[in-house]
Amino acid sequence: MSTFWREVSTFGFVGAFAAVIDLGLFNVLIHGALSDKYTTAKILSGAVATVFAWLGNRYWTFREREGRPVHHEVALFFGVNGVALAVTSAWVAFAHYVLDVTKPFWVNVHVVLGIGLGTLMRFVLYRTVVFGKAAEQGAPPTHRDAHEK
């Protein structure tokens, strides 16, 4: 299997689990402590899912693309995810506050749509900026590089 298709499939697997975490926690929060605070619930659930996604993508999906120090990679990863989370949260806020979507089924449909928009953006930016060849150009040697020589 080519590297691209392995990355697509493992990204999809990690992303599916992250989406379950995101959607599940979102529903727990809006039916509990954060009822009627949809945007706050979405931000919190998205943040937890993002931590899971970084671990899965760094140590499984893009494990062979170690091109910059981990703290730079983490900053870029969370930056990309912050933008994607803002897109997703804005979509949920728009659906709830402008379109007056309040029925649980339709709220979840809009959460899934928002996650989908963010996911497309994430895959492209992970491959090209966070873990991609662009990350390797000009990056200082990593811990792994020192052991391979």
- Domains in the chain: boundaries: 3-137
User: What's the pLDDT score for residue 138?
Assistant: 46
- Write out residues in the chain with pLDDT < 50, as ranges: 134-149
- 0.85 surpassed by pTM: no
User: What's the pLDDT score for residue 97?
Assistant: 92
Cβ count near 145 (within 10 Å): 12
User: What's the pLDDT score for residue 133?
Assistant: 60
pLDDT per position as a tens digit, 12-46: 999 899 989 988 999 999 999 888 888 899 889 98
User: What's the pLDDT score for residue 142?
Assistant: 46
Give the CA count within 13 Å in the CB-facing half-sphere of 141: 7
